[in-house]
Structure 1
Amino acid sequence: MNASANNLPLKQKMTSSGFTLIELMVTIAVLAIIVSIAAPNISTQLANQRVKSTAAIFENALKEAKVESVIRRQPLEFSFDNSKQSILIKSKNAGGSSPIESYTYNSKSIIKASKTSITFFPSKRAEAVTYTICDSEKSSIATQVIVTAVANITTVAGGSC
């Protein structure tokens, strides 16, 4: 009734002692092939996620600037700086400009536009501009954040980096 490994014959103990070196090498080779196929897809997905994240931060900052200009009843300047990866909202009153809010975005994200700053007015107007958000890895899909003259803010996939 006691069927332990100690009671087995010597020949049977030797044949069932584990994996062979060839079996382990084949398994590692298959895993290496799978990883080499999956790695480029993972890096592209990470780049796309960085673009989406930066676009969301950018869109939220634009919407905050729009709402704050109406609430404060004064024009607000929205600007970004790619070298510092920062977004700044500041007031444009006669006594100078004071910062209201600042945001940072991923260092691998690149924002392209014809202007680096626009003004939101309390009359729910803004300067029309299209921002294109890309990643430093060229394999990512660009996203555009569009601000119209009536301060509508939309995000669409597309654009070129």
Structure 2
Amino acid sequence: MVETRTGTSTSPYTAEQDAKAAAILEERREKKEAKKKALLEEQAAKKKKIEKEMAKELERLTKEEEEKLRAVEAEEEVEEQPLERSRTRGRGEPNGVKEDPLEKKIAEWVANLSLGEEEEALMYVTREEQEATMKEWDAEEDPLKRQTIEDKKRIE
């Protein structure tokens, strides 16, 4: 409201209208501030939610990788263990499983062929070499090393 020298107002609105307009403007400003505040709070909530999800995902991935690592380590341990021969029962049946007669016959043929190959190879080895090899096998006390030596000599 602007007053002139004579003290009369040049404003087209009354004091009451000016107060109403000021109140409306103040109300609009407050609404804008409230909207801004609500928007900022919503963004902060979304950000916090995303951070929680990221933390959970990171934890899940970490656990998954640890499980994979454990699995690989367990696999390595299994590979490092020496292979055990299957134990058979009295009549050559592995752990109570009955063999098919055809499979049994095939296994016998393979065993006989293997024996034939070894006997043939022994014909080419001198008696002294055979005795030296036998002494070497007997001298070794560790069964795994003995088996390794036997296998190497047979291959030769």
Pairwise same-fold verdict (TM > 0.5): no
Query: Which structure: greater helix fraction?
Result: 2
Which structure carries more relative contact order (alpha carbon 8 Å, separation 6+)?
Answer: 1
- Indicate the structure with greater strand content: 1
Normalising TM by the smaller chain, what interval?
Answer: under 0.3
Q: Structure 2 length normalisation: TM-score? A: 0.28
Query: What is the TM-score with the length of structure 1 in the denominator?
Result: 0.27
